[in-house]
Amino acid sequence: MYYPTSHPWSADQTLGDHLAERGVNRRDFLEFCGSMCAVLGLSNSMLPRIAAQLEAVKRPSVIWLQLQECTGCVESVLRTAEPTIGDLVLDVVSLDYQHTLMAGAGAAVEKALADSMAANKGKYVLVVTGSVPLNENGIFLTIGGRTGREILEEAARDAAAVVGVGACAHFGSVQAARPNPTGAVGIREIITDKPVVNIAGCPPIGDVVTATLVHFLTFGRLPEMDSEGRPLFAYGKRIHDQCPRRAHFDAGQYVEVFDDEAARKGWCLYKVGCKGPATFSPCPIFQWNTRTSWPIGAGHPCIGCTEPFFWDTMAPFYGRLPNVAGFGIESKVDTIGAALAIGATAGVVAHAVATGVYQLRHRKKAEAAASAAGSSTTKEG
Amino acid sequence: MTSPSRPAHEHRPPIHAGALDYARRVPPPSGEYEWVYLWGRPLRFMHWVAAICIVLLAATGLFIGKPYFVPAGDPESAYLMGWFRFVHFTAAAVLVMTGIVRAYWLLMGNRFERLPALFPLKRRDLRNMIEVVKFYLMIEPEKAPKYLGHNPLQQLSYTGIYLCAVLAVVTGFAMYGQSNPGGLIYTAFNWVNPLLGGAPIARFLHHVLTWVFLIFIPIHVYLALRADALERTGTISSIISGGRFVEAGEHYVDAES
Amino acid sequence: MAATRVVVDPITRIEGHLRIEAQQENGRITNAWSTATQFRGIEIIMQGRDPRDAWAYTQRICGVCTVVHAVASCRAVEDALGIRIPPNANLIRNLVHGMQFVQDHVIHFYHLHALDWVDVTSALKADPAATARLAASISPWPNNSATWFAEVKDRIAKFVSSGQLGIFTNGYWGHPAYKLPPEANLMAVAHYLEALDWQRDVIRLHTIFGGKNPHPNFLVGGMASAINLDGTATINAERLTDIRDMITRAQRFVEQVYWPDLQAIASFYKDWASIGGGVRNYLSVGEFPEGNIEETDKLYLPRGIILDRDLSTVHPYDPSRVAEFITSSWYEYAQGDDVGLHPYEGETRPKYAGPPTPWTYLQQEKKYSWLKSPRYDGKPMEVGPLARMLVAYAAGHEEVRAEVGAALGRLKVGPAALFSTLGRTAARGVETVLLARRMNTWYDALVNRIRSGDVQTFNADKWEPESWPATAQGYGFLDAPRGALGHWVQIENGKISRYQCVVPSTWNAGPRDAQGQVGPYEAALTDNHPLVDPERPIEILRTIHSFDPCIACGVH
Ligand code: HEM
Ligand code: HEM
Ligand code: NFV
Ligand code: SF4
Ligand code: SF4
Ligand code: F3S
Ligand SMILES: [Mg+2]
């Protein structure tokens, strides 16, 4: 099962030549293209186009910058199944710069970066994981003595496409959570002159990254995106609308507390804070780690990791409503609301009583006044 | 005394319109009364339909927010949350229709119904606002300036509650649209989510607004009942019949525009 | 010969952003400085948050050791609030963390460390048949056939001839420090590729219990993955079988590929058994509770301290003696820069004090890193697999003694060889073998409990904040793949008021303290350490990689 499946793909070969040499027959190849069609949500009529394009491409240069990050996104790509990371690195692309895997270090790899950018000017794909800290002139991230911002700006200048991978590159992820001590921002704040695709998630599913690369290699452009820059083929739908526990949601069958009978029956996680109703993500469909499972599938609520600023807007993770800044006592809205509504009712009752008392007194006075006036008249009369 | 939209054409004997028992003991006003027509049919119709919708929306909304009963049985046959959401969304659609009616009537209604009537911007209104507050606080319960339509405080609170309804509709549709990205509602309303800082914030705001309604309703109903009982001019019936009786000799601030 | 200043920035094949500056004289390193060049401020970000959410934020400290901060955080909060997790949850956490160790160590060896010892280009000269014979002499692994080695060789040849070297561009190929024969190189490259597939498979254990990897889900009070043998969306018989098979495949790969490869390669580099020792103190907080968390005598790998390389005594670990210094770090403390603060009084106040970018050299600066300098009783400590194996060995842990003894015997070196770059790498291998084996025990225990009717995975008693005291504090310890980890949490009115993490790579990679004592990286680099060619600093990579740096962990 660990038998290596690929041959190297030399620079002067097209994928077609390469596959033919590998003994991959036309049918297998078309099958692969078909599965890519399915992943990318394309109709089968696109198949010949994908096949033709894929057969014609050469191993493109990929430069991968790792900025302010936790490397979880790199690890996620290491788990991809289609193509595997081994095939990706050796056969599909030429990964010219990537800290986690590169053999050389220091000046040697910085030279590799410079050389690749020069040799592939305007043609390389720039993959970025991590965010860019802007506070204090970006001193919170340096590589080779230069700030992350400077490195990113330089690398983006001549890139054919920019693929931001993960919540960090998307909006700064956890380091951008309040109070964002380093001023971390996503790369779209820096790269403003060309489209950036955001493979959202903390981390995203690795296969979405590879599928996006394949899309670019096939069509020469990035896939259609939503307003967040997320590719629609993966992020076009809410989790809640694709969730296998949805029938339980509609039925009103909820896990009240973890590991209760409902949890053991696999009911809906809405009441323990599931953010599926506000999260666009392919998790229920693509699933994680060779389609083994996914967060809700394993009994934990979604924390909304593909949404911008989810560390602030989706927290507390086990509550239904967010901890809105300044409001203070989050998720206590109901308590406060009910107290105010009851208070208003009580106030109204008190006011009614006061009104009644006032009216009674007023009437007595009026009557007294009236009778006083009457008696004087009598006296007079 | 003339009603602005149509002249008062009939004189009727005073009637007792009080609702609370103690109020009945307040000496009935004496003298001449005129019937003033204030609220057009569209406004009255929209008021009651919206009131019913909002009560339904708050009840179903709170269930959606915290589903407290859990049905047994298999999900195929149970559809509890489904029904609550169905009622919520249906009521939401009806509420929007009432909103359209009201918006139309903001332009086409009479002087008491048109847009300016909801904003206490005139200098006299601003001045009277304080008087009205004093009146409600029973500091100077006798001196309240009398209005035929909404007094300044009412104007303010109704504008506020309309605004809340608009916000509830907008945040509601922003959430609703997410179930069909690219669809009509999504296209029309989804911009709200990023504007607020994410759909969870829209949800939060939507939830808070529910409580605003639940606070508004008892105060509003009470004040209507109170006015009815004390002034005995048919305030409550005005939102049903459209008009009320006012004392002929009384000075009304908004009598002449 | 005059002293040469050497800068390696970035250090690659690690997690995170690390810079090493060194002084080289006559082929040796005479002084070294370790600098972390990334800061995020996660300890600051934790303030004011719900303690039950803390695991998720702190987990994002690192996506490589993606389990450990989450578990340390859960333990800290559970300690503070007095929550005891059910035994099933503990077993599940052990399985998840156990697989983390095994997968992390194997990835480290093949993908992060091996290219320091393995010359990929030399593999091209290998004879596939001889490679198969070599492989057969050390392991029964069925994939080790001549045809397969031939195919790998072919693949490398074409790759190299394509002129697009990708990740192998500008490696230090042909450096005289490479000593392996071509066949050993080819075998290692083949297993480098196999390990890539293997890690993707076995880590699915995390996905079953935690929904995904990296960053599987955890839960204060237990685990969220409910057990119901008859359920379709729960841990059921099918899931359990999958887990058992993964453990088997993990163990087989470790025993038949990783560990034999490691020992075979080590036998060519025995000179590295007297290089790169460094600080002489070792700390392990122990890991894999097999009883309740407070029963520290029931940790599978024991807790304790070795001082001055003296294996005759294991000193007890007293958490109150931990303190962090910032004398050489870009922070400030309210009480001045030379005090050490215990984590319960810890502060994280970044204050950059270095030169403006771009830098050429940093080493003349007084402060030179985002890492703090943790000290135990004022002493620097090495943490990690070597520390754990030394503490266990000295404490008389039978399995550790047997495996370490056997390995030393096969390499024909004495126990002193452990205090070195090679010793560190070998200790990691021993530990992986033991843990891959131990996972079976935890798996069996879990299955037996389920069989006897116990399916509880979560303790709901203190879930609601109403049940918490107004103030509380607690800590969570665990030995992570890279060493001793501690999270300290303080809670006020249901919210986190202070959160401090003291992390393995902070212990190992931290800079000089107030006394001027260097940290373990810096000490190791100057301990009998060669550096032949300052332009091609492969020796630095060997020793630094032997620690398995994780700088996102170290600075968080
Ligand atoms: C959800 C519940 C309700 C809401 C949101 C609501 C809202 C409003 C609003 C916005 C107006 C001003 C109409 C305009 O000028 O556009 C109004 C008027 C009025 N409402 Fe309601 N209403 C509610 C329920 C009720 C109920 C139950 C009563 C009767 C007891 C009532 C009695 C009145 C009366 C008498 C007026 C006439 C205005 C005036 O006093 O000048 N409302 N209401
Ligand atoms: C006065 C008007 C309304 C009130 C009082 C109200 C109240 C509520 C409340 C309390 C919730 C639960 C919030 C939570 O805790 O998550 C809710 C949910 C919701 N409401 Fe409303 N709502 C109103 C109008 C609307 C309108 C006009 C729409 C438009 C479609 C709407 C759509 C929704 C949706 C989509 C949800 C989320 C339901 C789900 O995700 O299943 N609401 N509403
Ligand atoms: N240092 C470190 Fe970690 C580990 N193991 C954690 O605590 O790697 Ni990211
Ligand atoms: S997005 Fe999340 S997983 Fe990816 S690098 Fe950032 S913190 Fe790590
Ligand atoms: S588990 Fe979450 S995503 Fe799934 S149906 Fe329930 S609320 Fe929606
Ligand atoms: S938390 Fe993230 S991984 Fe998927 S289920 Fe939710 S989007
Ligand atoms: Mg710390």
The DSSP code sequence of A267-317 is: -B-GGGT--GGG-B-SHHHH-BTTTTB-TGGGT-----TTSTTHHHHS-ST
A50: pLDDT strictly greater than 90: no
What would the pLDDT profile of A214-241 be if each residue is shown by its tens digit?
899 888 889 999 999 999 999 999 999 9
**For C485, phi and psi rounded to 5 degrees?**
-125, 140
Sequential DSSP letters for C51-113: GGGHHHHHHTT-SSSTTHHHHHHHHHHHHHHT----HHHHHHHHHHHHHHHHHHHHHIIIIII
Both tokens of residue B41?
């049919």
Residue whose token pair is 């997410």: B178
Cα angle vertex A86, ends A84, A92, to 5°?
80
**For C458, phi and psi rounded to 5 degrees?**
-150, 140
B1: pLDDT strictly greater than 50: no
| CATH 4.10.480.10, chain A: domain bounds | 239-313
What would the pLDDT profile of B207-254 be if each residue is shown by its tens digit?
999 999 999 999 999 988 888 888 777 888 888 888 888 877 788 888
What is the band of C541 on the pLDDT scale with cuts at 50, 70, 90?
very high
Helix runs in C349-397, H state only:
385-394
**For B75, phi and psi rounded to 5 degrees?**
-60, -25
Cβ atoms of residues B215 and B209 within 8 Å: no
Q: What is the pLDDT of residue A206?
A: 96
Separation CA C141–CA B86 (nearest Å)? 61
What is the band of B128 on the pLDDT scale with cuts at 50, 70, 90?
confident
Q: What is the 3-state secondary structure (H, E, C) of B181-218?
A: CCCHHHHHHCCHHHHHCCHHHHHHHHHHHHHHHHHHHH
Can you say whether the dihedral through the CA atoms of B185, B187, B193, B196 is positive or negative?
negative
Read off the pLDDT of each residue in C296-316 and give the average, rounded to a whole number.
97
ipTM over 0.95: no
- Write down the CATH number for the domain with range A239-313: 4.10.480.10
**For C42, phi and psi rounded to 5 degrees?**
-65, -30
Chain B neighbours (≥3 Cβ pairs under 8 A) are A
Separation CA B22–CA C489 (nearest Å)? 62
Q: Is A306 on the interface with C (CB under 8 A)?
A: no
Separation CA A47–CA A54 (nearest Å)? 10
Burial class (CB in 10 A: 0-12, 13-18, 19+), A178: middle
Mean pLDDT is lowest, of A1-10, A165-174, C320-329, C523-532, for A1-10
Provide the chain A residues 201-220 that lie in CB contact (below 8 A) with chain C: 202-203, 205
A-to-C residue pairs, Cβ atoms closer than 8 angstroms: 354
Provide the chain A residues 209-228 that lie in CB contact (below 8 A) with chain B: 226-228
Residue whose CA is closest, atom 10 of ligand 2?
Answer: B61
Neighbouring C-beta atoms of residue C344, cutoff 10 Å? 15
What is the band of B20 on the pLDDT scale with cuts at 50, 70, 90?
very low
Both tokens of residue A62?
């990929």
**For C23, phi and psi rounded to 5 degrees?**
-110, 125
Q: What is the pLDDT of residue A86?
A: 84
Q: What is the pLDDT of residue A1?
A: 26
What would the pLDDT profile of A59-80 be if each residue is shown by its tens digit?
899 999 999 999 999 999 999 9
Cβ atoms of residues C63 and C104 within 8 Å: no
* Domain extent at residue B207: 32-68+78-247
Length in residues, chain C: 556
C309: pLDDT strictly greater than 60: yes
Cβ atoms of residues A43 and A37 within 8 Å: yes
List, in sequence order, every beta strand (DSSP E) within chain A: 61-66, 94-97, 125-129, 132-133, 142-143, 146-147, 161-165, 184-185, 196-199
Separation CA A131–CA A214 (nearest Å)? 24
What is the band of A360 on the pLDDT scale with cuts at 50, 70, 90?
confident
Q: What is the pLDDT of residue A192?
A: 95
Taking alpha carbons only, the member of B196, B218, B222 closest to residue B207 is B196
The single-letter DSSP state of residue A42 is -
Confirm whether B131 is domain-assigned.
Answer: yes
Taking alpha carbons only, the member of C472, C478, C428 closest to residue C317 is C478
C347: pLDDT strictly greater than 80: yes
Q: What is the pLDDT of residue B248?
A: 79
Neighbouring C-beta atoms of residue A219, cutoff 10 Å? 15
**For A267, phi and psi rounded to 5 degrees?**
-75, 180
Read off the pLDDT of each residue in A360-364 and give the average, rounded to a whole number.
81
A377: pLDDT strictly greater than 80: no
Confirm whether B105 is domain-assigned.
Answer: yes
Contacts of B154 (CB under 8 A, 6+ apart): B147
Chain mean pLDDT for chain C: 97
Residue in A with minimal Cα distance to C172: A104
How many Å is the Cα radius of gyration of chain B? 22
Q: What is the pLDDT of residue A6?
A: 41
Can you say whether the dihedral through the CA atoms of B241, B157, B105, B94 is positive or negative?
negative
Both tokens of residue A5?
């499946």
Give the DSSP H/E element, type plus range, for residue A242: none
Return residues with CB closer than 5 A to ligand 7 (ion).
C 501
Task: End-to-end CA distance of chain A: give it in Å, rounded.
Answer: 123
Can you say whether the dihedral through the CA atoms of B248, B249, B252, B253 is positive or negative?
positive
Neighbouring C-beta atoms of residue C127, cutoff 10 Å? 16
Q: What is the pLDDT of residue B15?
A: 40
Distance A74 CA to ligand 4 centre (A): 9
Chain mean pLDDT for chain B: 84
Separation CA C187–CA C149 (nearest Å)? 7
Read off the pLDDT of each residue in B47-70 and give the average, rounded to a whole number.
93
Under an 8 A CB cutoff, do A251 and B75 touch?
Answer: yes
Under an 8 A CB cutoff, do A322 and B23 touch?
Answer: no
Read off the pLDDT of each residue in B144-168 and give the average, rounded to a whole number.
91
Burial class (CB in 10 A: 0-12, 13-18, 19+), A139: buried
- List the single residue in A251, A309, A334 with the smallest CB-CB distance to B197: A309
What is the band of B68 on the pLDDT scale with cuts at 50, 70, 90?
confident
Q: Which three-class secondary structure state does DSSP give residue C278?
A: coil
C83: pLDDT strictly greater than 60: yes
B3: pLDDT strictly greater than 80: no
User: B230 contacts in A (CB within 8 Å)?
Assistant: 355, 359
Cα angle vertex A233, ends A227, A238, to 5°?
70
What would the pLDDT profile of C179-204 be if each residue is shown by its tens digit?
999 999 999 999 999 999 999 999 99
Identify the residue among A306, A307, A359 best suited for mutation to test binding to B, counting B beta carbons within 10 A and taking the highest. A359
Q: What is the pLDDT of residue B235?
A: 82
Q: How many domains does chain B have?
A: 1
Provide the chain A residues 361-380 that lie in CB contact (below 8 A) with chain B: 362-363, 366
Separation CA B192–CA B173 (nearest Å)? 9
Cβ atoms of residues C97 and C68 within 8 Å: yes
Chain C neighbours (≥3 Cβ pairs under 8 A) are A
Long-range contacts of the stretch A345-350 (C-beta < 8 A, 24+): A345/B218, A347/B219, A348/B218, A348/B219, A348/B222
Taking alpha carbons only, the member of A165, A167, A132, A131 closest to residue A308 is A167
Answer yes or no: C332 catalytic: no
Residue in A with minimal Cα distance to C171: A104
Cβ atoms of residues C536 and A108 within 8 Å: yes
**β-strand pairing of A161-165 with A196-199:** parallel
Q: At what angle do helices A26-40 and A206-219 cross, to 10 degrees?
A: 110
> Which pTM was predicted?
0.91
| CATH 3.40.50.700, chain A: domain bounds | 15-235
Distance A296 CA to ligand 1 centre (A): 45
Q: What is the CATH number of the domain that holds B235?
A: 1.20.950.20
What would the pLDDT profile of C398-448 be if each residue is shown by its tens digit?
999 999 999 999 999 999 999 999 999 999 999 999 999 999 999 999 999
Cβ atoms of residues C237 and C104 within 8 Å: no
Long-range contacts of the stretch A352-361 (C-beta < 8 A, 24+): A352/B20, A352/B222, A352/B226, A354/B138, A355/B138, A355/B226, A355/B230, A356/B22, A358/B138, A358/B141, A359/B22, A359/B23, A359/B26, A359/B230, A360/B22
Q: Which three-class secondary structure state does DSSP give residue C491?
A: strand
B148: pLDDT strictly greater than 70: yes
Tell me which ligand sits closest to the C-alpha of residue B176: 2
Q: Which three-class secondary structure state does DSSP give residue C201?
A: helix
Confirm whether B20 is domain-assigned.
Answer: no
Considering the four listed CATH numbers 3.40.250.10, 3.40.50.700, 3.40.109.10, 3.40.50.300, the one that applies to the domain covering A15-235 is 3.40.50.700
Q: What is the pLDDT of residue C70?
A: 98
Cβ atoms of residues A154 and A99 within 8 Å: no
Distance C348 CA to ligand 7 centre (A): 7
Work out which ligand 4 atom sits closest to the CA atom of A131: 6
Confirm whether B198 is domain-assigned.
Answer: yes
Write b or e for each residue in C439-450: b if 16 or more Cβ atoms lie within 10 A of its Cβ, otherwise e. beebbebbeebb
Q: What is the pLDDT of residue A151?
A: 98
C86: pLDDT strictly greater than 50: yes
How far from C33 is each of A146, C301, C364, C368, C525, CA to CA, in Å? Answer: 18, 32, 10, 8, 9
Provide the chain B residues 30-89 that lie in CB contact (below 8 A) with chain A: 65-67, 69-71, 74-76, 78-82, 84-85
Q: What is the pLDDT of residue B237?
A: 83
